[in-house]
Structure 1
């Protein structure tokens, strides 16, 4: 049984456990509450709250998710009381002396994070906002100030916006939750960047992944297990195409849940896995669901509900429901809901899943043949404004009063200023505008014939709080027009002969010039005998020849200086 208590104004949940006492303090705030330009602020505060605690003799940690942030620990009464009391103290009075250090730690954490097959799915479904922000780096870290952090903590990290849960037989006597007063914050509304579903997008991963949004229900939770059994049987046991076939069901807190499925594939079998995966989805969409799979899945869920410490095990998810304002249920109520799930209910979930599906397919494949539409990779709107041609001749940049459009063959990219989620700013003048729909256009001044005022005009239109300063780039990283590179290469190829000509000409000057000097001196220092006057003609010829030999060197030197 889960007891509802109160500790210092914070709703508290208590359930008995036979193991070590553990506890968590969960707040209704996460990455989906941020903007792209402020992304990372919740994660940074979580790190700052934990940093002064140093190395603990017991398990402590924190986690920032899309809609919730949790600080959790395991240990004795005194350990738990000391940890949670210190966390609340640090949240109220942030240890800002470590601000720069923790920013660097978070940047390092992101850079070392391994890419997962599902990382880009939030971006494709939601865009560069709310639930889509987990697909992006925490670009907001650099500009965050101490005042930004204090304001964020005062709004979100309050006693009314928190739930404490404890797996144990009592609340630690010395526990103090000194949090400021605030208000309970609703779960963010999920946006959509998909004009039509079911949709698909192409990714370099070697897996086929399904992402869908369904109404939260016991039937949807059970359906996840049934779908996993069918994928395992079809793609691994029967066809031997996949090794990993898995599904996941995660309530979002707004009455809906994310339902996902994944099947991996060898490069040479990706086409077959995609076909088999879609066949399974089609089979379930028309209601061909095995009763045996339903019975086995429900039996497994009932086994979990039957363990001695089931209430202690479900405390974290129970706390999330309480924070989000979702219905909270007893174990007996869960059993009743499970027994009510039948094949007809699963069929309804399958239809919901298919209608909202977003499919990630391996590179080189598509899913349009199965009724999925390609998720948009370019814009439908082209803005009016001044047009600047590309130095490479394959695109143009149009800058208007409402936004920017990159004109490409059949694939324009447009970001309106009033819909710009963020603009990345490089010291060398490069800019990247990212729309809330995740459309991103990159402006490299070196690649366009821009007026001097073009970039400043764009900067003036994008609000300062959406501009993200990026570190300076190495000159070699700044792209140059291919035409310029080609001209340089052609120039180098066409002048290979210049140096040999200059060397030969120089040798000729030395030889002929030396003869001219010797002969001239000889004529001047000796008396000219009758009949030797013609020798002066030879001297003149030799000097003329010396001048002629010098002309190539002079002309080639001028040509090189001109280049």
Structure 2
């Protein structure tokens, strides 16, 4: 049984456990609440709240997710009280003396993180906003000030916007949650950058990944597990194409959940894996779902609901539901909900999954043959303005009063000033405008014939609070136009014969030409007597020979001039 309590105005959940005491303090704030120009602010505050604690003899940690931030610990009753009390004290009075140090730590953390197959999916689905921000670097860190952090904590890290959960016999007597008053914040509103679904995009990853949005319910959670069983059976056991086949189901807090599926592939098997993956999806969509898979999934869930520690294990997800206002069911209600799920429910979820699907495919492959539309990689709108030519190639940059368009062959990129999520600003004059739809347009002054006022005109149109200063680049990192490729000049040793050849050819032309002229005049002035054969055939041969001897002179002169 999970008890609902109150500790210093913070809603508190308590459930018994037979193991060590553990606890977590969860706030309804995450990366999806930020903007691109302030990306990283929640993560930075999480680090600052933990930094003064140093090394602990018990487990402590923090995590910033898309919609939630959690501080959790495991240890004795005194350890838990000391940890959570200190965290709340640091949140109320941030140790800003460590601001620059923690910024550097976060930059290092980002640079050292490995790229996962699913990292770019939020960007493609949501753009450069809310749930899509997790795909971007934490560009906002550099400009964040102590006042920015205090303002953010005052809004989001409050007792009304938090839930404390404890797996243990009681609330530690020494625990104090000195948080400011505030209001409960709703779940972020999810945007979409996709004109239509199902859609697909091409990635450099070797994996095939499906991302979808479905209604949050027991049938969707069960379907995720059933889909994983089918992918494993089809792509690994039967076809031997994939090693990793997995699915995930994550409630978003707004009545919907993210449902994902992944299958890895060797480079030479990617085409086959994609075909097999889509075959599984098609099978589920038409309702060819095995009753045995449904029964096995429900049995596994019921086993979990029957363990002695079930309430303690449910505490973290239970706390998220409290924060977002989603309903929390008892164990018996969960069992009843699971037993009510049938094949018709799974068939319905499969339809929702396909209808909202975003498919990531490896490079060189497409999915339009399976009914997936290509996600947009360029803009439909081309703005009016002053056009500046490129110093290389056929591209052009158009700077207007409403935004900027990069004109490329068939693939224009446009970012409107009023829809610019952020603009990266380099000291050397380079700019990168990022639209809320995730279209990124890079302006390199060294590559375009720009008027001196073009970059200042762009800067004046993009609001200052959307401009992100970037560190200076090394000279060799600034792109330069490529020099025109010149044909190699023939050396003197390879052309010594050209002039003698022209002289000899010219002498031949003079001799043969003179003979041709004399013979022609003789034939015209001499009267041919009856019975004598005219020599006109010889005249024609001489003139043809004259022309042939002239051709080398013409070709060699043209060749020398072309150099």
Q: How does 1:295-306 map to 2 (within 5 A)?
A: 295-306=295-306
Cα distance, 1:394 vs structure 2: 1.4
Give the equivalent residue in structure 1 for 2:448: 448
Give the equivalent residue in structure 2 for 1:240: 240
Give the equivalent residue in structure 1 for 2:168: 168
1:261 is paired with a residue whose SS is strand
Give the equivalent residue in structure 2 for 1:51: 51
Q: How does 1:244-283 map to 2 (within 5 A)?
A: 244-283=244-283
Q: How does 1:2-41 map to 2 (within 5 A)?
A: 2-41=2-41
Task: Give me the whole-angstrom Cα distance separating, in 1, the residues matched to 2:182 and 2:471.
Answer: 37
What per-residue deviation string (whole Å, max 9, x for no partner) do you get for residues 490-541 of structure 1? Answer: 7xx66999xxxxxxxxxxxxxxxxxxxxxxxxxxxxxxxxxxxxxxxxxxxx
Task: Give me the whole-angstrom Cα distance separating, in 2, the residues matched to 1:174 and 1:261.
Answer: 45
Give the equivalent residue in structure 2 for 1:524: none
Task: Give me the whole-angstrom Cα distance separating, in 2, the residues matched to 1:486 and 1:325.
Answer: 64
Give the equivalent residue in structure 2 for 1:107: 107
Task: Give me the whole-angstrom Cα distance separating, in 2, the residues matched to 1:175 and 1:496.
Answer: 88
Give the equivalent residue in structure 1 for 2:429: 429
Give the equivalent residue in structure 1 for 2:376: 376
Give the equivalent residue in structure 2 for 1:349: 349
Task: Give me the whole-angstrom Cα distance separating, in 2, the residues matched to 1:340 and 1:330.
Answer: 16
2:160 is paired with a residue whose SS is helix
Give the equivalent residue in structure 1 for 2:520: none
Query: CA, structure 1 residues 92+481, in 2 after alignment: closer, same or farther (shift >3 Å)?
Result: same
Give the equivalent residue in structure 1 for 2:476: 476
Task: Give me the whole-angstrom Cα distance separating, in 2, the residues matched to 1:463 and 1:321.
Answer: 37
Task: Give me the whole-angstrom Cα distance separating, in 2, the residues matched to 1:311 and 1:393.
Answer: 64
Cα distance, 1:393 vs structure 2: 3.4
Give the equivalent residue in structure 1 for 2:157: 157
Cα distance, 1:450 vs structure 2: 0.4
Alignment TM-score, normalising by the size of structure 1: 0.87
Give the equivalent residue in structure 2 for 1:401: 401
Q: How does 1:303-318 map to 2 (within 5 A)?
A: 303-318=303-318
Query: CA, structure 1 residues 187+495, in 2 after alignment: closer, same or farther (shift >3 Å)?
Result: farther
Task: Give me the whole-angstrom Cα distance separating, in 2, the residues matched to 1:226 and 1:204.
Answer: 28
What per-residue deviation string (whole Å, max 9, x for no partner) do you get for residues 167-226 of structure 1? Answer: 001000000000000000000100000000000000011100000000000000000000
1:137 is paired with a residue whose SS is coil
1:486 is paired with a residue whose SS is coil
1:249 is paired with a residue whose SS is strand
Task: Give me the whole-angstrom Cα distance separating, in 2, the residues matched to 1:147 and 1:495.
Answer: 68
Task: Give me the whole-angstrom Cα distance separating, in 2, the residues matched to 1:302 and 1:456.
Answer: 64
Query: CA, structure 1 residues 495+158, in 2 after alignment: closer, same or farther (shift >3 Å)?
Result: farther
Q: Structure 2 stretches of 5 or more lacking a match? A: 493-563
Cα distance, 1:129 vs structure 2: 0.3
2:484 is paired with a residue whose SS is helix
Task: Give me the whole-angstrom Cα distance separating, in 1, the residues matched to 2:105 and 2:262.
Answer: 32
Give the equivalent residue in structure 2 for 1:123: 123
Task: Give me the whole-angstrom Cα distance separating, in 1, the residues matched to 2:195 and 2:217.
Answer: 26
1:278 is paired with a residue whose SS is helix
Task: Give me the whole-angstrom Cα distance separating, in 1, the residues matched to 2:96 and 2:393.
Answer: 50
Task: Give me the whole-angstrom Cα distance separating, in 1, the residues matched to 2:396 and 2:130.
Answer: 32
1:57 is paired with a residue whose SS is coil
Task: Give me the whole-angstrom Cα distance separating, in 1, the residues matched to 2:465 and 2:107.
Answer: 20
Task: Give me the whole-angstrom Cα distance separating, in 1, the residues matched to 2:382 and 2:153.
Answer: 41
Give the equivalent residue in structure 1 for 2:95: 95
Query: CA, structure 1 residues 496+24, in 2 after alignment: closer, same or farther (shift >3 Å)?
Result: farther
1:233 is paired with a residue whose SS is helix
Query: CA, structure 1 residues 142+292, in 2 after alignment: closer, same or farther (shift >3 Å)?
Result: same
1:115 is paired with a residue whose SS is coil
Give the equivalent residue in structure 2 for 1:195: 195
Give the equivalent residue in structure 2 for 1:561: none
Task: Give me the whole-angstrom Cα distance separating, in 2, the residues matched to 1:27 and 1:176.
Answer: 16
Cα distance, 1:486 vs structure 2: 2.8
Task: Give me the whole-angstrom Cα distance separating, in 1, the residues matched to 2:418 and 2:460.
Answer: 12
Task: Give me the whole-angstrom Cα distance separating, in 2, the residues matched to 1:276 and 1:378.
Answer: 30
Task: Give me the whole-angstrom Cα distance separating, in 1, the residues matched to 2:484 and 2:149.
Answer: 50
1:140 is paired with a residue whose SS is helix
Task: Give me the whole-angstrom Cα distance separating, in 2, the residues matched to 1:5 and 1:461.
Answer: 52
1:63 is paired with a residue whose SS is strand
Task: Give me the whole-angstrom Cα distance separating, in 2, the residues matched to 1:170 and 1:408.
Answer: 65
Task: Give me the whole-angstrom Cα distance separating, in 2, the residues matched to 1:486 and 1:448.
Answer: 15
Give the equivalent residue in structure 2 for 1:486: 484
Task: Give me the whole-angstrom Cα distance separating, in 2, the residues matched to 1:385 and 1:94.
Answer: 47
Give the equivalent residue in structure 2 for 1:506: none
Task: Give me the whole-angstrom Cα distance separating, in 1, the residues matched to 2:202 and 2:479.
Answer: 26
2:131 is paired with a residue whose SS is helix
Task: Give me the whole-angstrom Cα distance separating, in 1, the residues matched to 2:301 and 2:79.
Answer: 33
